[in-house]
Structure 1
Amino acid sequence: MTFDALSPEEVLLAVSNAGVKKGNMRLDKVFLSSTSAGCLLAFACGTSLSTDASPWYQDNAPGLIRTISALVFPYGLCMIILTGADLCTGTFMYTTVAALQRQLPWWKMLIHWAVTFWGNLAGSLFVAILIFGYGDVFGADPYKSAVITFATKKQVTPDFHMILLRGIGCNWLVCLACFFGAQGRSLASKIMGIWLPIFAFVSVGFDHVVANMTFIPLGIWVGAPDITVGLYIWKGIIPTLIGNILGGAIFCGTYYWYMYLLNFDDLAIAGNKKTDDPVGQTRVSKEKNDIEASAESSHQVTAVGPSH
C-alpha cells in the first residue's frame, strides 16, 4: 500500500521554507494577512457559540453538544491555511523551525510573532464587536446566554495555571493540524488532516489565544458579569499566549525539528514522489503530466519544408 503524502522529513522542510517566507514578508502584508486570519477564525467561533446555544442539550447531554460544536469549528483553520493567512499560533511552529534551521534570524521570528498577534486581535475584534456586536447576532436568548456562560467558564472559573496548561495542549494540536495540512497533497487530504486535531482540542475544551479574542470580548459586549478587560488580559491573553507558544514552538516545532531535520540532508519535496527501486534504495522522480505522457507515447512528426 502506498500513500500519496509527504514524509515527516519533507513536511518539516516545507514548514521551514514556509517559516522563512513568512518571516521575510513585508510587515504591512503580515498585518493584513493576520487580520484576515483573525476574522476567519472569529466566524468559526460564532458558529461554535450558536451551536452551543441549545439549553436542553446543555442540561441533559453537554458532552454531545460540545462534540457537535467541535465537529464544525475546524472550518475556521481550514479557511486560514487554504487562503495562506497568518495565525500567530501556527507561526510559533513555522518560524521556530526556520530559525532552528538557521534560515531565519531569531529577531525576525519574534517580530513576526508580535505583528501576527496584533493582526489577529484586530481581525477578531472587528468581527466580534462590529459584525457580531453591532449586528446583534448574539443579542437575544438563547444565544446571549450561551455567550455569557461560555465566556464565564473560560475566564472566571479556571485558575491561571490551568489556562496555561490548556494553552499548551491546544497549540500542540493546532500545530499538528498545520503539520498534517502540509503533509497531504490533495485538497481533501489537507482538509481531513487539519480537521481532526482541531476537533480534538475543541472537544476537550483547551484554550486558544486567538479564539479567546472573539469569545471573551463578545462576552464582555453582551454583559457577562465578573468579566472585565483587565481580567481578560490577565487570564485570557497572558497564560493562553504563553501556553500556545510552548505548545507550538517547543512541543511541535522544536521536537519535530530535532527528530527529523537535525543532522539530516535536505530533501527534494516540491512535486515529487518517492518510489523504491529494485535494490532497495529510494529515488525521487518527478511526475509527468498528462500532456507530457501523451506526447511521449505519440509518434514524432517531422515538418516538411525548406531548412534554414
Structure 2
Amino acid sequence: MAFDALSPREVIEAVSNAGARKGHTKLAKVFMSAVSAGCLLAFACGTSLSTNATPWFQENAPGLMRTISALVFPYGLCMILLTGADLCTGSFMFTTVAVLHRRLPWSKMLIHWVVTFLGNLAGSLFVVAIIFGYGNVFSAEPFKSTVISFATKKQVTPAFHMILLRGIGCNWLVCLACFFGIQGRDLASKVIGIWWPTFAFVSLGFDHVVANMTFIPLGIWTGAPHITVGMYIWKGIIPALLGNIIGGGIFCGTYYWYMYLLDMDTLPLYAVGRTAVSSSPSVSHLSGAAAKETDTERSST
C-alpha cells in the first residue's frame, strides 16, 4: 500500500529549507507574522478556557473536561501553520535544523528567536487586553473563576523545575505536529497530523510558553490572587521557554537532523550553491515534490 506523504528524510530537508528562509526573512515581516501567530493561539486558549467553565464536570469529571478541551485547542495551531505565521516554539526546531545543516548562522537563529518571541507576546497581550479584556469575554461567572483557577494551577502550584520539564514535553509534541503538518501533502492530512500531537500536549497539561502568554496575563487581568508580573516572568516565561527550546531544538530538531541529514554532504552556508549539491548521491533519492517549496514549510510553532 502506498501513502501520499513525504518520507521523514524529505520532511527534515523541508524543515531545514524553511528554517533557512525564516532566518533570512526581513525582521519586520517576522515580527508581524509572530504577532499574528500570538493572536491566533490566544483565540484557541480562550476556547480552551471556556470549554473548562463547567463547574459540575470540573468537580466530578476533571479528566473528561481536560480531554474535551484538548480536542478543540489544536485549531489554533492549525490556523498558525496553514497561514504560515511564525510561532517561536516551532522556530526552535526549524532554525536549529537549518543551523546544524549549515544553511543559517547561529546569530541569525538567535535574532529570529528573539523577534518571534516578542511578536508572539505582543499578539497574545493584544487579544488578552483588547478582545478578551475590554470585550468582557471572561468577566461573568463561571468563566472568570475558571480563568483564575486555571492560571493559579499553571503558575502558583507547580515548582520551577516542574514547569521546565513540562515545557520540554510540550514542544517535543508541538514540533512533531509541525513535522507531521509538512509530511502530509493534502490539507486534510496536514490538519490531522497537526491535531493529534497538539491534543496530546494539552491533555497532559504541559506548558507552552506562548499559550502561557494568554493564560497567565488573562488571570492577572481578571484579578487572580498571588500572581504578579514578576512571578509570571519567573515561573511562566523562563522555565517554559527553556523547556520549549530543549524540547523543540534538541529532542526534535537535533534528533532528526542527526538521524536523516548528518550523513548527507555538507551544504554551503546561507543555502548558496544548493543546485550543485543536490545532485550528489546522498540526496538524489528525494522526490521532485520534496524539492518544491510547500506552503506548510512556511509555518512554525
TM-score, normalized by the shorter chain, greater than 0.5: yes
Give 1:24 shift: 0.3
Q: Secondary structure at the match of 1:271?
A: helix
Match of 1:271 among 289, 297, 301: 289
TM-score, normalised on structure 1? Answer: 0.87
Q: Which residue number in structure 1 is paired with residue 36 of structure 2?
A: 36
Q: Secondary structure at the match of 1:6?
A: coil
Q: Which residue number in structure 2 is paired with residue 149 of structure 1?
A: 149
Q: Which residue number in structure 2 is paired with residue 200 of structure 1?
A: 200
Aligned mates of 1:183, 1:15 — CA distance in 2? 10
Aligned mates of 2:111, 2:283 — CA distance in 1? 27
Percent identical among aligned pairs is 77
Aligned mates of 1:98, 1:152 — CA distance in 2? 38
Aligned mates of 1:243, 1:269 — CA distance in 2? 35
> Is this contact kept in 2: 1:13–1:266, CA < 8 A?
no
Aligned mates of 1:272, 1:94 — CA distance in 2? 16
Describe how 1:1-308 pairs up with structure 2 within 5 A.
1-264=1-264, 265-267=282-284, 268-271=286-289
Aligned mates of 1:65, 1:202 — CA distance in 2? 11
Q: Once superposed, what is the RMSD of the aligned Cα atoms?
A: 1.0
Residues 136, 271 of structure 1: alpha-carbon distance in 2 compared, 3 angstrom cutoff = same
Aligned mates of 1:55, 1:229 — CA distance in 2? 28
- The structure that has the greater radius of gyration is 1
> Is this contact kept in 1: 2:42–2:124, CA < 8 A?
yes
User: How many aligned positions are there?
Assistant: 273
Aligned mates of 2:218, 2:17 — CA distance in 1? 36
Q: Segments of 4+ in structure 1 off by > 3 A?
A: 267-270
Give 1:266 shift: 2.7
Aligned mates of 1:205, 1:272 — CA distance in 2? 35
Residues 156, 109 of structure 1: alpha-carbon distance in 2 compared, 3 angstrom cutoff = same
> Is this contact kept in 1: 2:12–2:260, CA < 8 A?
yes
Q: Which residue number in structure 2 is paired with residue 298 of structure 1?
A: none
What's the CA shift string for 1:190-240, capped at 9, x where partnerless?
000000000000001000000000000000000000000000000000000
Gaps of 5+ in 1: 274-308
Gaps of 5+ in 2: 265-281, 292-301
Which one has the bigger helix percentage?
A: 2
Higher relative contact order (CA 8 A, sep 6+): 2
Aligned mates of 1:269, 1:38 — CA distance in 2? 34
> Is this contact kept in 2: 1:33–1:119, CA < 8 A?
yes
